[in-house]
Amino acid sequence: MENAKKEERRAAFRDPVQILVDVILPDGNTVTMRARDLSRTGTFLEKMEASDPMPTAGSKIHLTIKWPIETAAPAVQVTADVMRETEEGVGVQFEF
C-alpha cells in the first residue's frame, strides 16, 4: 500500500536501473552515486560508500548520467533539485 501511495505522488513511473551518476554537490565537490530507478522526471541516487558525502534536501545538484557502455549513448548532464534524503541516498527531481 505504501509503494502505491508513493507512485501516486510521482509525475512519472520509475523503472529500476543500475546506472552510475557523477554528482557535483553544492560545495563543488564531486561524488559518484548509483541511480537505482529512473523516470523522465527524476531518480533515486544511492551512496556507493557509507562515508560518501550526500546532498541535502532542498539543494540543487548537477548530474552526469553515464549510460552503460553497451548503449553507446553519450552521457547526459542535467540539474536536479534534491527532494528527499534517506540514509541510503537522495530522491531528486530533474530541472527542465
Question: Collapsing DSSP states into helix, strand and coil, what is residue 3?
Answer: helix
Model's pTM, two decimal places? 0.82
Neighbours of 47 (CB within 10 A): 18
Q: How many domains does the chain have?
A: 1
Domain range holding 68?
A: 2-94
Instruction: Return the closest-CA partner of residue 92 out of 14, 3, 5.
Output: 14
Exposure of 44 in the CB half-sphere (CA atoms within 13 A): 16
- Distance between alpha carbon 36 and the CA centroid of its chain, in Å? 8
Quick: pLDDT tens for 43-93: 999 999 999 999 999 999 999 999 887 778 899 999 999 999 999 999 999
The one-character DSSP state at 69 is: G
Q: List the CATH number of the domain containing 86.
A: 2.40.10.220
